[in-house]
Amino acid sequence: MVFSFFKSPKDSGEKVSERMPGNQMPGNTMVTPDGTAVKVGVPAAGGGGGIPITEGWETITRPNGDYGIEVFEESDPYTEIAEHAAILFANGQYDTARSTLESIIKGNNEAGAIKLWTMLFDLLRLRGEQKAFDVLSLEFAHTCELSPPSWGQEEDAGNDRSEQKAGVAVLQGAVSDDAPVFDPLLQALAKGESRTLDMHRLIGLDSDATAKLARILQQARRRDLAWGLLASETLAKKLAERTVAGQVSDESQWLLVLELFQFLGWEEQFEDKAVDYAVTFELSPPAWDPPKTQPNIQEAPTEEETPVDDDVLTLDPALLTTVLQGEILQGKLDDIETLLEPGKECRLDFSRVTRVDFVSAGALANLLKITKAKPVSIVHVNLLVAELLRVMGVDQLANVEVAKH
């Protein structure tokens, strides 16, 4: 579900300074579980230029000419807690990040706290703690009177919702090498059966899935099986753009585009790309040997038969999304840097990225400042990583979309 975050506490008519959750010390100082003391805004004593009103963690005073008027700006206390928890998580301090969030959200149904609840849900999901997640879901529903998010990741369409019809394998969403859709394809190879691959909804393949698909198509072609491809032209053209002579990149992309050209019967494009492959990798390319059996092409499933979720419908069908996985640590962004091609749109899928450390977030911001790839989108980002990217200014350099659950 989509939560309405970011409603300012002042919109509710209640001052945060009057109802501040968490552990407070004398002098209006809050101590987070990791021992960090953060000052809460304090109404100034009488005298001077009137009574300042503060509703945030600290009072920011700006002089205004010679009139003695002081302007006090508000800061959202929940934003600082979110930033603090995100940085703790980025540094691998999972327990401290968790206790920081738990200390603030307990019994707290303020609009600003909803974001912190959601961050804790993401943290538990990423750590695989489903029992604690379920307990938190009950507490969230009781406290906030809202439906909690689901445990499963709805956006992982390529792995969890690969609809199969008779003789048709649907590649959709962001596909990894362990996607269930590959199982019936491998079974069809073993039995020598015909298959049709529907790629209308495909938005991304990770490197392992690209290599796996290339091998499967190669074996089907060599065994002269009647396999057909639907909507493969888009993928072939995108891969052709990415595989440039002399630029050593993911070899699996080269092998897949060569297989696609064979199935499509594009001999001229195949020959040109084969020469580029030989020049780039100093290896002999595959020979031109298109399927001898007429492919079994079937009509694509209609939208009524196989509904598509809204996120997939909004994507540019010509855009191949790159799926990144695991943790991005120590500023190692080689995979991302190779994808930022000058003048080309780049879409990075973070649905499988569990953590980005502080150094890498800073390095990503620096990389985006100098890249000539425009525009850059980072999608399906968990809220802990998204908050860190916001702190580091990445959201000012790329379109960052938070994952929905």
Question: What tokens were used for 142?
Answer: 């009781």
Residue 116: inside a domain: yes
The C-alpha atoms of residue 368 and residue 70 are separated, in whole angstroms, by 38
Q: Which two tokens mark 42?
A: 């304090």
Asked if residue 56 and residue 90 are part of one domain, the reply reads yes
Residues 333 and 385 occupy one common structural domain: yes
User: Looking at the structure, do residues 139 and 261 belong to the same domain, yes or no?
Assistant: no
Instruction: Count other Cβ atoms within 10 Å, centred on residue 86.
Output: 26
- Cα torsion 134, 140, 141, 147 to 10°: value is -80
What is the number of structural domains in the chain?
3
Judging by DSSP bridges, how do beta strands 24-25 and 37-39 pair with one another?
unpaired
Same domain, yes or no, for 239 and 277?
yes
3-state class (DSSP) for residue 1: coil
pLDDT at residue number 297: 42
Do 230 and 198 meet the contact criterion of CB atoms below 8 Å apart?
Answer: yes
Q: What is the pLDDT of residue 75?
A: 59
Residue 47 carries which DSSP code?
Answer: S
Q: What amino acid occupies position 99? A: S
Domain boundary among 233, 255, 281: 281
Contact of 119 with 383, CB cutoff 8 Å: yes
Q: Give the per-residue pLDDT at 331.
A: 82
Helix axes 114-126, 383-391, angle to 10 degrees: 120
d(CA 230, CA 294): 14
Same domain membership, residue 274 and residue 206:
yes
265 with 338, same domain: the answer is no
228 and 262 co-located in one domain? yes
DSSP string, 84-142: HHHHHHHTT-HHHHHHHHHHHHTT---GGGHHHHHHHHHHHHHTT-HHHHHHHHHHHHH
Long-range contacts from 34-37, C-beta under 8 angstroms, 24+ separation = 34/88, 34/93, 34/96, 34/99, 34/100, 36/84
Domain range for 176: 157-281
Kindly report the pTM of this predicted structure.
0.49
**Beta-ladder partners of 165:** 168
Query: At 230, is the secondary structure helix, strand, or coil?
Result: strand
pLDDT at 34: 53
Structure tokens at 88: 């703790």
Q: How do the pLDDT tens digits run along the chain, 405 residues long? A: 333 333 333 444 443 334 344 444 434 444 455 555 544 333 333 333 332 333 343 433 444 444 444 444 455 788 899 999 999 999 999 999 999 999 999 999 888 889 999 999 999 999 989 999 999 999 999 998 888 888 864 444 334 333 444 578 888 777 877 888 888 888 888 888 888 888 877 877 888 889 999 999 999 998 888 888 888 888 898 889 889 999 888 899 999 999 999 999 999 999 999 999 999 999 999 999 988 775 544 434 444 333 333 332 223 433 455 677 788 898 888 878 877 878 777 888 888 888 999 999 999 999 998 888 778 888 889 999 999 999 999 999 988 988 876
Q: Is residue 60 part of a domain?
A: yes
Say what the pLDDT of residue 281 is.
Answer: 93
On whether residue 313 sits in a domain, the answer given is no
For the sheet containing 24-25, what is the strand order?
24-25, 29-31, 37-39
Task: Tell me the β-bridge partners of 38.
Answer: 30
Q: Are residues 64 and 106 in the same domain?
A: yes
pLDDT value, residue 195: 86
